[in-house]
Structure 1
Amino acid sequence: MQIDINEFIELVKSVKPMFLNHTEAEHVTVKGRADFVTQVDIRVQEYMRNELSKRWPDVQFMGEEKDNSDIDFNGAVWILDPVDGTTNLIHDFKDSALSLGLCEQGQVTLGVIYQPFLDEIFWAQKGKGAFCNGKPIHVSDTRKLEDSLVAVGTSPYHRDLTEENFNAIRCIYEHCVDIRRMGAASVDLAYVACGRVEAYFERNLKPWDFAAGKIIVEEAGGRVIDIKGSSANAMAPSDIIAGNGYIEEDIKKLLIERRIQ
């Protein structure tokens, strides 16, 4: 599918005023424990869906705030998280992002992650490398977990996994420099891609959480795998370890040793 990447980036960046609207961020609906939706989520999703359908009417649309039961991944699909890090947005933390991926015949071919509060936009196209604000990016070249900074997620929608998750996080923490918890999967993946962290681990992610980030990490020279070591499937809920080609393997081995699978 032919896409003018510069035009596409400008479309994504046009959502910035919606993110900065504090009034709409304060209109919150509770979907579940630690699971919220604001008017910003709804407005951004509606806007992007309309704009994408005008430009590419034959491409399906998967969004976090809609029923996606009719999606056929044998065709082309946009995969959108309008606001990744909604809890951050509500509490005025700046780690929130729009995450948009394009899946074609079961493969992610384009990914964009935009952080309006920092004015950083990460993107990648299959076979064309990864970029942040127009500059090429690459994963860290750190080879040892003991020298690595690792981002983690706590799977807040799955409190039944709390003990197992924190055992895994503790295991990673015991072997690395330190851990970070950004609260937005797409941001964690973008930071792996540009080398700010060496790896990222989280369980129970949905396609809109990591489809865009997966291709950005891969085009930046890294890998996104599941706990068993296979390439993570961006079309289905997954437990993932993203890394620079070295550190994700160390984390995988640790988790297997601790029987966290």
Structure 2
Amino acid sequence: MSATPAAWASGEHGRRGRVLLAPNPGVMTLDGTNTWVLREPGSSTSVVVDPGPIEEGHLDLVDETTGDVGLILLTHHHYDHSEVAAALAERKGCAVRALDPDFCVGADPLADDEVIDVDGLRLRVVATPGHTADSVSFVLPAERVLLSGDMVLGRGTTVVAHPDGQLGSYFESIERMRSLVTDGEVDTIWPAHGPVLDEAGAVLDFYLAHRRQRLDQVRGALEQLKDAPHPEGIATDEVPRRVVEIVYADVDESLWDAAELSVRAQLAYLAERG
């Protein structure tokens, strides 16, 4: 059964954005994946960002809703964003572009700071690795919006998907996104999961503070494990899960596997810095 679309996902956003919510709700996807359809006022040609997964007619919905499509863009390679991209491109006769060339169709990979213009709709590519190595965001200057992919979610915080995702890159990317707010380029975030975020600066400040707090908690958990009596010792590959059990003790266990990815990224980050 399809999920009932969230209230924020119905209708238009700004003058240039519309979101189509994929029917794939879950622990990692929140209400589902947001497929963003962008179009310059007066144009009949759309840009589709993250066309989504093969899930209960979502491809047909995107096909029927978008009309002419000039370009498909991917914020990163995860299947819930990219799975139907090639099929949609074939239906629409357009290209797919991503940072990873393996996910491009009929076009070159995206380049950092590249400006894309599709029938008057202008987007700037911002490389924002961290969640994955190939994560990118898009600035929509006319709306003062940042399409953040999975780097920033509409609720909660994202996963640093180790080993592909790296915490050092994550910190640098969130700082870069924060500078877009400081420089007056961005006010609002349109994420790939969850509702739009109207106070981009406050959200990004929270993301940085939260991740630093988690990093401190991981340090504390390592000290706790080191000081506790362990007659048989703890195997190295068991450490991340033991850290999760301490740091995420107040979080539903259904989220622990995802938390362990971030913990592994945090442990790698700490190890790199001695």
> Structure 2 length normalisation: TM-score?
0.26
> Structure 1 length normalisation: TM-score?
0.27
Q: Rg larger in 1 or in 2?
A: 2
Report the structure, 1 or 2, having the larger strand content.
1
Report the structure, 1 or 2, having the larger helix content.
2
